[in-house]
Each structure stands twice: as structure tokens, then as C-alpha cells.
A and B are shown apart, each in its own frame.
Chain A
């Protein structure tokens, strides 16, 4: 059932690719670079965020005014921060781009089953990145301390309080006490910046098993994304809502559809159900890589076996080490010389880390010295098949 659904989604994803490849050369298909686009937007966010951080004041009295000062809004006019309006717009729209790119990346890699084999770690770190990115985005809307921010604080508090037993404690921990306390904005500022730094730690985890990750999109798409963000921030200036009132929180929410979707859901479900839903989604997301059969044998495709290094032939040239997509090959100091003439002077020896090998055989194609083999699919087998093919 799930498998059939996944097949259908894969078909749609690939036909979307085909359609886009008709417009662009395959090297420039933006859907092949969703990860790189996310990273690009994250970089833009960090740079513009540093700029905003220099001017932002995390206190109830000054937060709103400092944001108005950055953007040169009404009381300040030209006395505001130069280009502050543009930078704030960039920060806002790059955040939207970030979450779109992340979600595209998430769905694409889900539907094309790129969570298989040893890719569970990139998948799980990616889930963490997604959760953190959403959290940071919501925080950012609280920092402005306009009416929307106040409403968000109230809604978040209510949702957390709906968790049985620990809810109240969680709420106090997040907001520094019940209700809106003086600790709220400094804490939110830290929770905006701190996890943003943690994103880079998780990115390292995200990349650690990936050889040659496509960290940046092609230059065309870099320029296009930057241009789009600049253009949007100029055409639709990012603005605050009216200042948060000290009285009751407003009852209407100006929605940013990319970050505040869960809060829209609060209109239809009770806070307790929202919490349940969020937990289910995240836990299921973490479970995705383990849902389908893992090994090639269980999947019904060829079971070639872990790639094996032929000690006698390995020259320590590192070609397989560079090409292995999963960083499954490491070079170690050679314990003894090889047997063939090319291998006698070797300094290093390739070792396959079995837990990471997915039996794709890319190292076999990389090796010019016949020093790697898939035990279930040897070079002899291939040559036998070629001979058969030539005979028929």
C-alpha cells in the first residue's frame, strides 16, 4: 500500500523532472539542487541576520521601535538605518525561500527513496534541520513584538500548556515564566540565534556521509534566487504589524503561510491534537528510512555483496576514495607492499567500511587497477555476460 503510493509519487516526481529538463539542460534543473538552494538561502539568512542583530534591542519597550528604526518606518524616516528596509526584507523572504527549498528537498528525497541504505543519517539529520528551521522561523516572528508576535506567544503557550503533566513547565521554560515576562524577548533572541548556529553542526552531520555534496546551486540559480529575494524585498517591503498592545492579545493572525501553518491549524484542531499531530509527523519522519526493507536482497534487487579490496592489486591511488558516494572507503597506511608491480611502492591501502557500503559498485568503475570487486558480481561475470551477448 505504502509502496504503491511511493511508486506513484516517484512517477510524478520523475515526470516533473522530465518536464523541467525539457526547459533547462539537466545540469540546471533546479529540482536537482534543492539542497544547494537551501544552503544558499541559509547563508543569505545568516548574513542579513548578523546585520539585523547589530540593531535589534530585545526588550518590551524597545524591540518594536528598534525594528522600526531598522526599516526607517514612520517616526524615523530617512534617519533609519541605511538599507535597513531592504535587509529586513531579504531576511524575511530568504526565510520563506529557505523553508520552501527545505520542503522540496524533503519531499523529493522521500519520493525518490534517497533515504535508503546508509543514507539514514543524512535523512535523520535532515529531519532535525527541518524541525529546527521551523522553530527558528517562528521565533523570528516573535522577535518583532508586534500584534502578531503577541498572538504567536499566546498560541504557543496555550499549545504547550495542553501537553499533560509537563506542559506548564515547558511553557515556563520556553518563555521564562508564565505569561509574558521580561525574559521573553532576550530568550527568544537567543533561541533564534543559538539554534541557527546549531544548524551548521547538523549540516556537518548531514554531509558527513556524502561525498561531493552539491552545496551550492549553479550560478544561474544562485543569481536568480538572490535577485528574486532582492526584488521581493523592494516590491513588497517587509513591515511590522501594529505594536503589541498590553491588553488582550488580538484575535486575528496575519499569516506567513510557510512558517505559521501550524498556527493556522489551531483554528481547526484543539491545541492537544496539534501537539499529537506534530509529534506523529516528526516521529514518522524519523521512521521513514526504516519502514521499507533495507538490504538489496530484501528489496528484490541484485545482492552483490559489500565491495572488496583486492589487496594484491591496490596501489593506494585514492581514486575509489574520491568517487565513493557514501564515504565508505578510507585510505589507511599500507601494512605491506602489494603484489603487482604498480602496487609494490604503495603508501596507502583502501579499506571499505562495510556499514556504509551500499554495493553500488562506483568504486569498481573508479579503479583502473582491478583492485576492487563486488563479490556477487565479479568482473568475470560481466565479461561472461558480454561474451554471451556477442555470441547470440
Chain B
């Protein structure tokens, strides 16, 4: 792995799904949903951690996020019933799927904290963020539909991927200003 770039200066971009009943987001997030302590982490509030489809985590990874996590109530104490156990199992299954796609499974994770454990939650997110930051950049994806600014890898056959949104290698060094300004393929709607 020659392209191991810890890139200490660059905080990885992370999308987190936060259950309404788990850690209280009061005083934790800014207006736009980013965390006050970790501006590179964006929290999306959902009704229950069991609501998350693993495909949404994948969608985040494919659209330029370096990592994605789900935060639910402590295991065994879902406000509904077993929602957090369900998502925990699904993320475990998803990690295997990601491995097959040559994406480091550590880019997804689950965090379980209760309503008032904000400090612990922030620490856990920071740890997750640091872990993602240490991961080597994923191999360049299948060919992009449009020629990106960076030279495309000539490895693929040239057939543009029909449906899936292109993954414009988010961690390609500091110059990884990915073409995410143009909305990636909306194939997954």
C-alpha cells in the first residue's frame, strides 16, 4: 500500500445518523447539523436507529463521505424494541459486504449511548473519526461517468457504470477536491 496517507491536517468527512431517543443533540450540533466539537462530522437525526437502511451508509460513503456511523440507545434499552440491536447486526453484515467491494469496513461503525451521555458520545465520535483518518485511501473506483478533474484510472474497460453513483475517491491526498459539486449520479433514489 504505497498510498497510505494519514493526512493529519485533513479531518475526515463523516456522516452520522443519530436516534431521536439516544444522545441528546442539544448543544451538540450547530444549525447545519455539524457537530460543534467536530465540524467535519454531520449528524442526521432519525426516529430510531433501526430506521437506518445500511444502504444509506453505503450511499454516504459513495458520495464523498470518509466514514458513516449510526448512534442508538445502549444495547438492550431501545426506546422501541431492539432497533439498536437490529442496526448493530445489519452493520456487521454490511462490513462484510464492504470488504468485498474493497472498501475498508472500518469506515462504518455503530455507537450506542443514552440520552445524557453527551461527553462520552463526543469522545466516541472523535475516536471513530481518528480511526477513519488513519485508514489508507480506498482504491479508485470504477470509471466515472464524466471525466473527473483528476486523471481517471485507465484500468477499467471504459464502459461507464450505468446506474451507481460514481465514487470520486474522497481521500486522494490534500488535492482531493472531489467533483462532488456536481451532484453524483442519483441512481439510488
- Residues of A that sit less than 8 Å from B by CB: 10-11, 14-15, 17-18, 21, 26-27, 29, 32, 112, 114, 210-212, 301-302, 304, 323, 325-326, 358-362, 364-367, 374, 377, 379-380, 382-383, 385-392
Contacts and interface: CB of A to CB of B under 8 A. Distances in A.
A26 B81 contact: no
A201 B20 CA distance: 35
Interface string B43-78: 011111011110010011001110000000011111
B127 interface: no
B185 to A, nearest CB: 11
Identify the 7 closest CB pairs spanning chains A and B, nearest first.
A361-B51, A325-B81, A389-B42, A362-B50, A390-B64, A32-B76, A360-B48
Contact of A359 (B47, B60, B64, B74): B47
Interface of B: 13, 15, 20, 32-34, 42, 44-48, 50-53, 56, 59-60, 63-65, 74-83, 86-87, 90, 112, 114-117, 180-181, 183-184, 188-189
A27 B76 contact: yes
Contact of A387 (B47, B79, B183): B183
A365 B90 contact: yes
Contacts of B112: 26
A389 B33 contact: yes
Contacts of B83: 325, 360, 362, 365
* Binding site secondary structure of chain A: helix
27 contacts: A15-B116, A18-B114, A26-B75, A27-B76, A29-B77, A32-B77, A112-B79, A301-B20, A325-B82, A326-B81, A361-B46, A361-B51, A362-B48, A362-B80, A362-B86, A365-B53, A365-B83, A374-B47, A377-B46, A377-B47, A382-B46, A387-B63, A387-B184, A389-B60, A390-B60, A390-B64, A392-B42
A211 B86 contact: no
Given A26-B74, A26-B76, A361 B50 contact: yes
Contact of B86 (A304, A323, A380, A390): A323
A15 B33 CA distance: 27
Contacts of A391: 64, 180-181
